A = this chain, B = another copy of it.
Amino acid sequence: MGDILSWNVEDVLFEKEKTELNGSKFLQGNGYMGYRGTLEEFTKEQLVACNLLGIYDKVGDNWREPINAPNGLFTKLYCDDRLMSVLSSEVREHKQVLDIKNGLHKRESVIKQSEDNLITIKSERFLGLENIHLICMKYSFKALKECKVCIETGIDGDVWDINGPHLKNVKAEIYENLIALNSKTSEMNCIIAVSEAIDMDFIGEQDIETDEKSIIRRITVYAKPEIEYTLYKYVSIFTVNDGVVNPSRAAFESCLIALEMGYVNIFTQNCSIWKERWEKSDVEICGDEEAQLALRYSIYHLLSIAPTHTDKASIPARGLSGQVYKGAVFWDTEMFMLPFFIYTNPEIARNLLMYRVNTLEGARRKALEYGYRGAFYAWESQDTGDDACTHFSVTDVFTGRPMRTYFRDKQVHISADVVYGIWQYYLATGDQSLLLDGGAEVILECARFFFSYSYFNKDKNRYEILDVTGPDEYHERVNNNAYTSMMVKYTLEVAIETLELLYKNYPLVYNELILKISFRNELENIKDMEKLLFVPKPDRESGIIEQFSGYEKLEEVTLKVLKERVLNPNEYFGGGNGLATTTKILKQADVVLILNLFKNRYSCEVKKANWEYYEPRTEHGSSLSSCVYAMMASEIGNSEWGYKYFMKTATIDLSGESKQYVGTLYIGGTHPAANGGAWMAAVLGFAGVSFNDQIITIMPQLPEKWESIAFNISLQGQSFSVQAGKTGVKVKASNTNSKNVLFNICGQVKECKIGHEI
């Protein structure tokens, strides 16, 4: 599985100004929680966070956001009463490493204690996969000269919050050798229980101190020169969401079990789970180490944040890296992350989609709120499916006033994106259970929503989707947005197919559902609308699809000229008076995105024409944009352009080149949609994998540098290893497959038999 270089992310210098960035870069996650890549001595000022999935809290009029649990890894080292911290001490050597193969975070710092004494601090930590409530840490220190060492370690409840404080009723507890910090959330009184157990290879004097926000052990030892002292910490987190009667007791028990099992055994178990994951998900690239690391790193993030344990939560736009964007789930999940899971880990894909089924009521409430019928999914979805997005999402830098934006009320494509995701899952896996478990209801309610949202233009004898914001958010409230209208059409098609499928295969379910949601009269509406819905078409001469009605009349200006007009570096390009609003400059792929999603419906000439037309007009103000241009570039045979965009997508969290702050608001964190985009660009783009009906197509268009690409995919329950090089493609069917499958490889159709290779 490749050499070590492509499995390690490393920083060999401590730079204080990178603490926020590195918190995201060295993030660990296990789907239940994300732990930021901060150092043990850090506190909330350095944005330490143990971010919990799917548990939200609202304080006063502030935004509702996910909570960060008290930090059980908190550890500070004092030598002869002087704090040894990279923040305040002289750092002689420093290394921070993320071993993405095994999900292990390591740090090693050599700190000057005095003129003749150096202290080495080493730590390792990982998040449990077998027990997702668990965090394990090994913490060692060594002094060059003898000195008195005091270790402060425990649970720090003074956590970083954007719109907090979320934790109240903080109570410290001691139970034999275990300590705990239990608290409740502000809005719903959800119990958050954190326990910690330690084990040491040395004997030290121990005190425990508590204050209103923390419980800390103080361990003192007289360290001998050159001797390494090691401490193991086992931290467990439980909340009332976890289906346990007594979260604090569950946390205690989890710590006790970990203590008994021991660090090495838990780590070994963890590694084997990571190994299984990588076997399913890894993509090997020959000939390009930089791309290899970036792509693996992207996959690492997707694996780290995917909820394996629940279908009540989905992946937030900033993963589990903090509270940014309210920990909300956006269309990012369905359109940019889901394909990776569908092709490599369909169970997780199913969880993500079941989250939408489970939040259907919220979507119904939102439709009603705006006077529509059916399901209008939240633009920013949290636990209930109600929309966390506000009507004023951006601050006008010139007046300091909140600016009315239309993400919440006009980005109706979200409902179509959900349907698209469900249907892609069904097509790829063949699994109809998702449809039966609520997926069909979601599809029909979304179709109903679009019917009630649409208007009929009698003059032109067509339905139109008016007054929407497409992916290009710089142009709000437009009519006939190509992306939205195409996605709505697809939703209607899928609704009709779903009904046919149910009617044929599950007539009882069909009747029950039709009755339950009173859909009988709707069917004619949906069919009529599907036939007569206007979707912008390629221009007969130029092949260009107009992004929305009137786009062609907007000002033609280069991105360079537009940027020269900027008066304030933080000014928003969209909104009522935005710089881009009256021009053709777009935020992100919009038309090009539908070319990608509906490859079979557009000719190569149209794809080429639109890529070339829209690419210079795209500002890429969203991290979702590059991967789309990458995929379409390889589709039209321009893999070098595609490579540029692939690298932009794949390195976004490595390079940290994205925006970290807007004004004083932290918006940094990881970019799972870009991570998913990197996988899509590599596998669906360069390797050219696609699937329609019963045939898997592979049409590689590798970048020049790449000798070959190898990966596994799973379709219709059948698994395959694929290796695609410059000269040929090798596909091997798993021995455990249950049927032979047709492949179209670069135009040649072949059958791949169970356990065989083509």
Interface residues of A in 436-476 (CB under 8 A from B): 451-452, 454-459, 464, 466-467
Among A43-51, A143-151, A398-406, A717-725, which stretch is in contact with chain B?
Answer: A398-406
Inter-chain contact B399/A567, CB cutoff 8 Å = yes
A396-B577, A575-B576, A582-B404 known; A459 vs B467 contact (CB < 8 Å): no
A464 touches which of B391, B455, B549, B565 (Cβ 8 Å): B455
Is A581 close to B, CB under 8 A? yes
State which residues 343-395 of A face B: CB under 8 Å: 371, 373, 391-392
A119 to chain B, nearest CB (A): 54
Residues of B near A404 (CB, < 8 A) are 577, 581-582
A570 at the interface (CB under 8 A from B): no
Most buried by B among A464, A466, A565, A577: A577
Q: How many monomers of this protein are in the complex?
A: 2
- Contact between chains at A467 and B467 (CB < 8 Å): yes
- Report the separation of the CA atoms of residues A55 and B310 in the bound assembly, to the nearest whole angstrom: 75
**Complex contact A458–B525 (CB within 8 A):** yes
A398 proximity list for chain B (CB < 8 A)? 398-399
Asked whether A459 lies within 8 Å of B373 as measured between CB atoms, the reply is: yes
Q: What's the Cα separation between A152 and B215 when bound, in Å?
A: 97
Q: Which residue of B lies closest to A476 (CB)?
A: B576
* Choice from B399, B466, B549 contacting A455 with Cβ under 8 Å: B466
Which chain A residues in 663-698 approach chain B with CB under 8 Å? none
CA gap between A185 and B423 in the complex, in Å: 67
* Distance of A578 Cα from B399 Cα, bound (Å): 11
Chain B residue contacts of A525, Cβ below 8 A: 458
Q: Give per-residue flags for A156-197: 1 if the beta carbon is below 8 A from chain B beta carbons, else 0.
A: 000000000000000000000000000000000000000000
Of B391, B392, B457, B576, the residue contacting A456 (CB under 8 A) is B457
Q: Mark A556-596, 1 if CB is under 8 A from B, else 0.
A: 00000000010100000001111001100000000000000
Residues in B neighbouring A391, C-beta threshold 8 A: 582
Chain B residues, Cβ within 8 Å of A479: 467
Task: Tell me how far the C-beta of A365 lies from the nearest C-beta in chain B, rounded to whole angstroms.
Answer: 16
Please name all residues of chain B whose beta carbon is closer than 8 Å to the beta carbon of A575 when the two chains form the complex. Answer: 576-577
Given contacts A455-B456, A576-B577, 12 further A-B contacts (CB under 8 A): A371-B549, A391-B582, A392-B582, A398-B399, A399-B567, A401-B565, A404-B581, A404-B582, A451-B458, A575-B576, A576-B581, A577-B577
Task: Please list the 9 inter-chain residue pairs (A to B) with the smallest Cβ-Cβ separation, ordered nearest first.
Answer: A576-B576, A455-B455, A398-B398, A456-B456, A452-B459, A576-B577, A404-B582, A577-B577, A456-B458
